[in-house]
Amino acid sequence: MKQDWDIPPPPNQRVADPASFKGIVVEGVSKRFGPKTVLDNADLLIHKGETLVIIGRSGEGKSVLLKHIVRLLEPDAGRILVEGAEVGALEHGPLMELRKKFGFLFQGAALFDSMTIAKNIGLALEEHTDWPADRIRARACECLAQVGLVGAEDKLPSELSGGMKKRAGLARAIVMEPQYILYDEPTTGLDPITSDAINDLIIQLQKELGVTSIVVTHDMPSAFKVGNRMAMLSRGRIVFTGTVDEVRTTTHPMVRQFIEGRSQGPLGAF
Amino acid sequence: MTAILAGIGRGVIDALSGSGRGLLLLRSIILQTPHAWRMRREILEQMQVVAIGSMPMVIVTSVFVGAVTAVQAVYQMQAYVPMKFLGTVISKSVFIELGPVLMALVVGSRLCANYAAELGTMKVTEQLDAMTIMAIDPDRYLAMPRFWAAVLMIPVVTIFCDAIAILGGYVASVLTLDVSSGVFIEGLQMFYKHSDLLGGLIKSFFFGGIIAMSGIYYGFNTKGGAEGVGRSTMTAVVGSCLSVLVGDYLLAIVLFQIVFEKT
């Protein structure tokens, strides 16, 4: 039975002067992989210092959007600006400098499996500073302590559990004291207690380091806990943005279906 | 008919774009070479993978290459050519062709599979993306050390192969083929030219580049999961072997018909 849903228009996520916006501007970004359109003229603003949670169903392009921000992927159309700099137009050197401002926690942690945890964490320092080895190791241990992994520095990634790998990945993401941290499904596949510990770490990092965070997730308890603001991605576009309280009380049918976890609704079941 | 033509067209476009991407990767690796001193530890680690890791295979292959060449040369020569030329035949065959090509195929396949599988796994598990996000260029950190390790060490391995194969040929000739030690050594010295050895080593230098580029390129361009890693490893090894054989022909023309022809 076909139903018509009263879906409000997408929120206005454009600014008059993107070049002077202090944060990240995603402007009309489209991306296709073969015949599948993953992002379709997506607009989004990420304000400096906030934690924005991007929610949406699996395969809707949340991780793809995240990868565009640091130019791991390039858009077919549209542009992304970070602190006024158009990411797609940067030459190699400035792009590398921009990436140093970012930390990225991958869904599978993406630890270098031939290196110890300390080497994984210290690699960026080895490459970008002239610090001696003992200072780099001390900093790696400090980051491991921040994520509750004291004593794991000489282990290989294969010796860690899934939750420990995520925390080690987080330690690696913060080692350079980034201004922006991008989290791709930080709690997926973890038990509820480890998930909550990761959520606490995300909040702690925002408070202590003042970082701007973008969290991609479909884990709603996590989203409500860590987010200042949420955006919902569906069919390649941002269909809703609002504060956590606005998400709780919205009547937007797509958001309601998603946060209530119903199979009936405008998002469909499959 | 249209589908066949479209398929051929797609194949040609894929081959051309693949070659273009391969050349861009090579250019990037060459441009990263000034960082080689900073990356010396990684380069030495990779050189160790090529040389030490391949040594048992090199020894076994080379001994039998020398021995088989001796046996078959004696079979062909016995009625028509004096045995004093046996050492000449073995040394020229090994220096010019068998040493460089067999090492490129045997050691090269092992190395190429190693590079493609290792880098391919890093690609599909997002480790390459993680490195890129950390503002570390994978072309510098991963590709450049592997490329130079292969380019520098395949000739070294070939020198070992040449020496061991000659020894294998000597032992087989003296112990089983009724050729005296003095006759074999006289043959080795007769008609020896530095250009034979040098030409073979120049070939193996280029083969090292071909092997490394094939492994690195297919590793970096792996798609999919475990199946994708398997596919790219297989493609890299097949591509490397075919390229070595085609390259061998072209280098033979350049080196032995043009460069060394007048020496």
A123 touches chain B (CB under 8 A): yes
Question: Is A29 among the domain residues?
Answer: yes
Residue A96 forms part of a structural domain? yes
Q: What is the SS3 assignment for B105?
A: helix
**A226 within a domain of the structure (yes/no):** yes
Which residue of chain A is at minimal alpha-carbon distance from B39?
A127
Greater confidence (A260 vs B216) lies with B216
pLDDT for the residue numbered B129: 94
Question: A121: nearest CA in chain B?
Answer: B134
Specify if A267 maps to a domain: no
Do B122 and A67 lie within an 8 Å CB cutoff? no
Is residue A117 very low, low, confident or very high in pLDDT (cuts 50, 70, 90)?
very high
- The size of chain A, in residues, is 270
For residue B36, give how far its alpha carbon lies from the nearest alpha carbon of chain A (Å).
14
Buried b (16+ CB within 10 A) or exposed e, B56-73: eebeebbbebbbebbeeb
Q: Is A245 on the interface with B (CB under 8 A)?
A: no
Task: Give the pair of three-digit tokens for residue B262.
Answer: 């007048």
Task: Name, in order, each residue with C-beta under 8 angstroms of B157's C-beta and a sequence gap of 6 or more.
Answer: B50, B51, B54, B58, B103, B107, B204
pLDDT at residue A4 in the model? 66
Distance CA A74, CA A57 (A): 22
As a whole number of angstroms, the distance between CA B36 and CA A224 comes to: 49
Rounded distance between C-alpha atoms, residue A218 and residue A216, angstroms = 7
B117 CA: distance to closest CA in chain A (Å): 13
CATH of residue A246:
3.40.50.300
Look at residue A270 in the predicted model and tell me its pLDDT: 57
Q: Which of B129, B135, B136 sits opposite A110 (nearest CB)?
A: B129
Convert the pLDDT of each residue in B178-201 to its tens digit. Answer: 888 888 898 888 888 888 899 999
Predicted confidence at residue B139, as pLDDT, reads: 94
Q: Which residues contact A119 (CB under 8 A, 6 or more apart)?
A: A112
Q: How confident is the model at residue A269 (pLDDT cuts 50, 70, 90)?
A: low
For B28-82, write each residue's pLDDT tens digit. 999 999 988 988 999 999 999 888 888 999 999 999 999 999 999 888 888 788 7
Interface probe for A, chosen from B40, B124, B125, B127 (most Cβ of A below 10 Å), is B127
What's the CA angle centered on B141, arms B140 and B143, to 5 degrees? 65
Tell me, yes or no, whether A204 lies in a domain. Answer: no
Q: Which contacts qualify for A120-123: CB closer than 8 Å, 24 or more apart?
A: A120/A157, A120/A168, A120/A172, A121/A153, A121/A168, A121/A171, A121/A172, A121/A175, A122/A175, A123/A172, A123/B134, A123/B136
Q: What residues make up the domain containing A89?
A: 1-8+22-101+212-260
- pLDDT surpassing 70 at residue B262: no
Q: Which residue of B has its CA nearest to A182?
A: B133
Domain total in chain A:
1
pLDDT tens profile B117-154: 999 999 999 999 999 999 999 999 999 999 999 999 99
Q: What is the ipTM of this complex?
A: 0.88
Which of the residue ranges A45-49, A165-169, B22-26, B79-83 would you say has the lowest mean pLDDT? B79-83
Report CB contact under 8 Å: B127, A110. yes
Domain contains A36: yes
Of B121, B122, B136, the CB nearest to A127: B136
- Using the predicted structure, report yes or no on whether residue A267 has a pLDDT greater than 80: no
Contact A42, A29 (CB under 8 A): yes
Structure confidence at residue A218 (pLDDT): 84
Q: How far is B232 from A223, CA to CA, in rounded Å?
A: 38
pLDDT in tens, B201-244: 999 999 999 999 999 999 999 998 899 999 999 999 999 999 99
**Across residues B104-112, what is the average pLDDT?**
94
A263 burial via Cβ count (<10 Å: 0-12, 13-18, 19+): exposed
Domain boundaries, chain B: 2-259
pLDDT at A268: 66
Tokens of B20: 């273009």
- State CA B30 to chain mean position distance: 19
